[in-house]
Chain A
């Protein structure tokens, strides 16, 4: 493939027939197309321009579409970890910060525990949002979005996950939060959210949320546990289709959960090479 080079002509008369005051030539491997063969070159240029434009569009589109996480993601909560032996095909969703909404204010707690990963590993920064009481859009929404955007900018991860076990009265706030996070960070970021299984009913409030992924957490399910547990163990799926693409599983429950396109695994112990290998075996 050649390169279309153009330069402004010094003498317009020389190329009057070309109806242009620009001189263009087709540069191929150091050979310059003679000026007398302009028409041929122009035809080729049109073709070439079309190809380049298509390529550029593809490039832009690929840049716009966020890179999806691998099929297996390991949750790494706040404890020291060494996952440098992480095999290809698995990524890590690490707790990067906790944002607490309390008493009308927003407080942040960054992650302090080191987590070592191999170069090139897929990294998803998780922001845990905790709200022990009532939340206020007027006073807490913007600072919370600022904090989440700060984590995304600082961690420079491949994706961002928000983990907020919002209560019923906090759901409008959560919806607004996700909307503003998406608006702030753009569509180029893969935005994931965790979900309580109680949100995965037939009329889920999560419909239309501006996220790329919803990860129902099928462990420590509280009051909903027995019924959902029985359903999942018998091979059933969660009711809402929104909750079927990805699944969050505790390490010991892997065998008792339906397959999903993507599995997030939580361990109650330190991740070791053996534990990671076992997870990959079981999710194969």
Chain B
């Protein structure tokens, strides 16, 4: 009896003293619940296999396109990879591309000069605004991708060592100097340069003015490009006019209304269909600053109909975020949304709009209870063409568990989301 009492006491004591966290043992995973098998390239190219309703919705959108007989185009697939990179899953199948680094490598190779150095804080993306004492997301990754692809195209046409390409590269370096510094505006192109390089230069000058905050001149420059038939940038210039107006508007209602009017004119023009997607995102994120059911429907229409060649990444961001909000979707408890997509609808069942809680509870044992959920239901708003800010914010979430307690921690531990990027 005495031994029994001792054993019982020891058991109770052991239960009290035992670590609350059990050791983790490796386990075999036969089928993934939230995403397709690796590498995801096959899935992206339409070899869907047996896809499950529990997949994150971005994967279900891809499946939806294929089962509807509207396969993703090559640019759309590229944008999906960038979306995966935004969600920090790009490394899963080693397909992520850092366009900024690739640009730095390419420009160094083309000019023979050392690769441009990023500023430690600005990182070639963030510019400090003295009127708001804060940094803002100035140069999105798409800017570096476009520059990289343009450099390759011009080098293929004129020769990598040609005077034309050197002039183009020098001007582009000046454009990017405005991303986290400047101002630096390239001079007008000499008449001796080929017409294509001169047309590029007009675009570079307007871009540099946009990045340096000289919005009136940038707007005028983009309007001239939009009106010209002798430039390869005519197609995107109307969007850039809207973007410049939106940036320059700040919080001024009259100026925002002006930007909205311009955006709606673009959306109403069927000839500008290639820029409708990006204009739609811009209109809702930056100008209207609200996300309503109408926007969700428009996104669903774009994504389902293959109208998103240049803006798939951004629209997918907004679509999945909005879907979460409208469906109040818990990826680990509710398959209704996935089932809805499988059932042929890209829209969730109507529910009361739910405000997402930006706080992500950190679970015991160093694991975040909502960590996995965060990836599928990220509260961080997307930014134009970039995705760096969500990445940074998510890293902050990941680190919160390991931060030491110190002064002002009560506020520091609050995840404060970056505001809307300035497009």
Chain A residues with a Cβ under 8 A of chain B: 75, 77-80, 94, 96-97, 100, 102, 106-117, 123, 128, 130, 132, 143, 146-147, 150-151, 154-156, 165, 167, 194, 196, 217, 219-222, 248, 266, 268
- With A78-B416, A150-B119, A151-B121 as given contacts, are A114 and B404 in contact (CB-CB < 8 Å)? no
Q: Could you give 9 example pairs across A and B, Cβ below 8 Å?
A: A107-B395, A110-B121, A114-B132, A116-B133, A117-B133, A132-B404, A150-B120, A154-B180, A217-B407
Which residues from chain B contact A196 at a C-beta distance below 8 Å?
406-407
Chain B residues with a Cβ under 8 A of chain A: 119-123, 126, 128-137, 180-181, 389, 392, 395-396, 399, 402-412, 416, 418-419
Whether B408 pairs with A77 at a CB distance below 8 angstroms is yes
Whether A108 pairs with B409 at a CB distance below 8 angstroms is no
Q: Which of A116, A147, A165 contacts B121 (CB 8 A)?
A: A147
Which residues from chain B contact A194 at a C-beta distance below 8 Å?
407
What residue in chain B is nearest A79 (Cβ atoms)? Answer: B416
User: How far is A156 from B403 in the complex, measured between Cα atoms in Å?
Assistant: 29
Which residues from chain B contact A220 at a C-beta distance below 8 Å?
405-410
Whether B121 pairs with A154 at a CB distance below 8 angstroms is yes
Whether A114 pairs with B133 at a CB distance below 8 angstroms is yes
- With A130-B403, A154-B121 as given contacts, are A114 and B419 in contact (CB-CB < 8 Å)? yes
User: How far is A255 from B331 in the complex, measured between Cα atoms in Å?
Assistant: 49
User: How far is A109 from B395 in the complex, measured between Cα atoms in Å?
Assistant: 10
User: How far is A75 from B135 in the complex, measured between Cα atoms in Å?
Assistant: 18
How many Å from the CB of A89 to the closest CB on chain B?
19
User: How far is A61 from B254 in the complex, measured between Cα atoms in Å?
Assistant: 49
What residue in chain A is nearest B136 (Cβ atoms)? Answer: A112
Q: Which of A115, A128, A222 contacts B133 (CB 8 A)?
A: A115
Whether B407 pairs with A110 at a CB distance below 8 angstroms is no
Whether B122 pairs with A154 at a CB distance below 8 angstroms is yes
How many Å from the CB of B274 to the closest CB on chain A?
31
What residue in chain B is nearest A123 (Cβ atoms)? Answer: B133
How many Å from the CB of B188 to the closest CB on chain A?
29
Whether B410 pairs with A268 at a CB distance below 8 angstroms is yes
Whether B404 pairs with A165 at a CB distance below 8 angstroms is yes
What residue in chain A is nearest B130 (Cβ atoms)? Answer: A156
Q: Which of A112, A146, A147 contacts B135 (CB 8 A)?
A: A112
- With A115-B133, A150-B119, A150-B121 as given contacts, are A165 and B389 in contact (CB-CB < 8 Å)? no
User: How far is A243 from B122 in the complex, measured between Cα atoms in Å?
Assistant: 34
Q: Which of A114, A146, A221 contacts B120 (CB 8 A)?
A: A146
Which 3 A-B residue pairs are closest in the complex by CB-CB distance?
Answer: A114-B132, A110-B135, A147-B120
User: How far is A266 from B406 in the complex, measured between Cα atoms in Å?
Assistant: 14
A107, A110, A128 pick with most chain B CB within 10 angstroms: A110
Which residues from chain A contact B403 at a C-beta distance below 8 Å?
130, 132
B120, B132, B396 pick with most chain A CB within 10 angstroms: B120
How many Å from the CB of A109 to the closest CB on chain B?
6
How many Å from the CB of A130 to the closest CB on chain B?
7
